[in-house]
Chains A and B, each alone.
Chain A
Amino acid sequence: MKRAHRRNHFLIWLLMGPVLAAIIILSLQVRPSDDLLINDALPAALIEEAS
């Protein structure tokens, strides 16, 4: 790889580290509490009827 290309790669990954860390930390902070009931599963009877 060309020298300039290697340097760009290095700078990109130096930036990507904090960006990815921020994405992960922020998304964990807005995660709903474990006690919250989530109605995300369709009743088996409805699935059966639909299929």
Chain B
Amino acid sequence: MAASYKAVGWAPFKRRYDFWMLAGIALYLAAFVGGTIATAPPGETWAEIQILIRAFGSLAFIMLTFILMIGPLARLTPRFKPFLFNRRHLGVATFLVALVHSGLVVLWYHGFSSVNPLASLLASNPNYGSLQGFPFESLGVIALFILFVMAATSHDFWNANLGPGLWKAIHMSVYVAYALLVAHVMLGAIQLEKSPLYAGLVAASAALVVLLHLASSFASNRSSARAADWIKVADLAEMEDGRAKIVAPAKGERIAVFLYDGKISAVSNVCRHQGGPLGEGRVIDGCITCPWHGYQYLPDSGRSPPPFTEKIATYAVKIEGGAVYVDPSPNAPGTEVAPARVEGAPA
């Protein structure tokens, strides 16, 4: 939600996020280079640039693994929601780290001959027919291209101009990039490692990413409710001020039911921006605020506050016997619905 496009919509939280992200990157690189030099076996000579190649390459893999874990972790525990809010910056930083890794590789391994370095990178090893000695560099190049497209379109301008469907489809190619990256690492650096530790770490990272995604899917499916005229959301005592309970009707989208200022309102759980889970956000300044990118909606009408024009569906709610209920039939987006008032709450 923005009246005009800005390169980056800076906010204090984003600045803190980026500061800690850059500090983490610098700390990892320093620890990797220092640790490699300090623990190198006697007689083994590594050029500084080779150590940097490995430092940036391993960092890019770790960052992409973490990015893929943020979504399911935030769904399983709210502690990870702050990471979700500014995931784009982490994604762009991952591309830049991978770009430095590939730049150093081209410079060091392919930059000292008369052959064009890029041609040398892709054509010097034509062993595409066998896994043993496979030219793993090409897998990294394709993954880097995918990360570039994602980083270049990682802005609301592209989301608005490509449309949410196409934009989302492009950004789901990150899964292909991750599979390519796992193959790039396993057929490249891991082939020469004598210790099984590194192969184990790559396998454990990939397994963790897959299991977290499946676990979060199971957890959200388990909460699906059966068809009913009114669905019980929760006992009033279980609701937290400024937060929502999410219910999943048998048909249609999930519903986010918010308690705020002694009132209950229900809206679609799907943000108009990029489909973010509104029920995982909270009410800030009287507006439901999406945890992904901060899009806001008024709880009783599902409309974004002026001058913005986004609208989401609303639902009827009621309080009976100390429990909150929601009618799963959606109203047209932007339809005002009187909130249910909590007894004893100030009007």
* Interface residues in chain A, defined as those with a beta carbon under 8 Å from any beta carbon in chain B: 1-3, 5-6, 9-10, 12-14, 16-17, 19-21, 23-24, 26-32, 34, 38, 40-44, 47, 50
Residues of B with C-beta under 8 A to A23: 179, 182-183, 186
CB-nearest residue of chain A to B251 = A3
Residues of A with C-beta under 8 A to B207: 20
Q: A17-B214, A30-B134, A43-B45 are in contact. List 16 more A-B contacts (CB 8 A).
A: A1-B277, A2-B253, A3-B252, A9-B213, A10-B217, A10-B221, A16-B213, A23-B182, A23-B186, A24-B186, A27-B183, A29-B131, A30-B191, A32-B132, A42-B47, A44-B45
- Given known pairs A1-B276, A9-B217, A12-B175, the reply for A27 and B192 (CB within 8 Å) is no
Alpha-carbon separation in the docked complex, A9 to B270 (Å): 16
* Interface residues in chain B, defined as those with a beta carbon under 8 Å from any beta carbon in chain A: 44-47, 112, 130-132, 134, 168, 172, 175, 178-179, 182-183, 186-187, 190-192, 194, 199, 202-203, 206-207, 210, 213-214, 217, 220-221, 248, 252-254, 269-270, 275-277
CB-nearest residue of chain B to A23 = B183
Residues of A with C-beta under 8 A to B276: 1
- Chain A facing B: main interface SS: helix
A37 CB, nearest partner CB in chain B, Å: 11
Does A20 contact B206, Cβ atoms closer than 8 Å?
yes
